[in-house]
Amino acid sequence: MSVPAELIEQVEKLTPEERRELFARFGVNGTPPHVPRINRTPNVCGGSACLNNTRIAVWLLEEMRRNGASDAHLLDLYPQFGPADLAAAWEYVAAHRDEIDEEIRRNEEAMDGPPVE
């Protein structure tokens, strides 16, 4: 028996919290493999790759990791994510190193902008 495409579309539209509630009801933890973990949406977070249809950018997670944050710490900060979500983020980073490095660089430059008077 195959899952109807309409059902998959509806699940993909759920927020991470709604997905957790749905999957918990059926005894499933985390995000199922058929739901994309990395999304790029125009006009959301500048089009940056984000994790699980949130506004948590992959480059931000990678910057935190480079600054010493462990996966356990990131999972504590973002309890809506599971280990498989972070694994997907790290795979994305490995496959898109130049993009992630550029987004981190742009963010650092923006943070070092002119002083507020």
Residue 39: strand, helix, or coil: strand
How much of the chain is helix, strand and coil, in % rounded to 5?
Answer: 55, 5, 40
CATH of range 36-117; options 3.30.160.270, 1.50.10.10, 1.10.10.10, 1.10.3720.10: 1.10.10.10
Q: What pLDDT tens digit does each residue of the chain (117 aa) get? A: 566 778 777 877 777 777 777 766 666 655 445 456 888 888 888 899 999 888 999 999 999 999 999 999 999 999 888 888 898 999 999 999 999 999 999 988 888 866 666
Q: For residue 44, what are its two tokens?
A: 């959301």
Q: What is the CA radius of gyration of the chain?
A: 16
Beta strands, E only, 29-112? 38-40, 49-51
Burial 49-63 (b: 16+ CB within 10 A, else e): bbbbbbebbbbbbbb
pLDDT of residue 10: 80
Ordered by start, the domain boundaries in the chain are: 1-32, 36-117
pLDDT of residue 26: 66
pLDDT of residue 28: 61
pLDDT of residue 103: 94
pLDDT of residue 110: 85
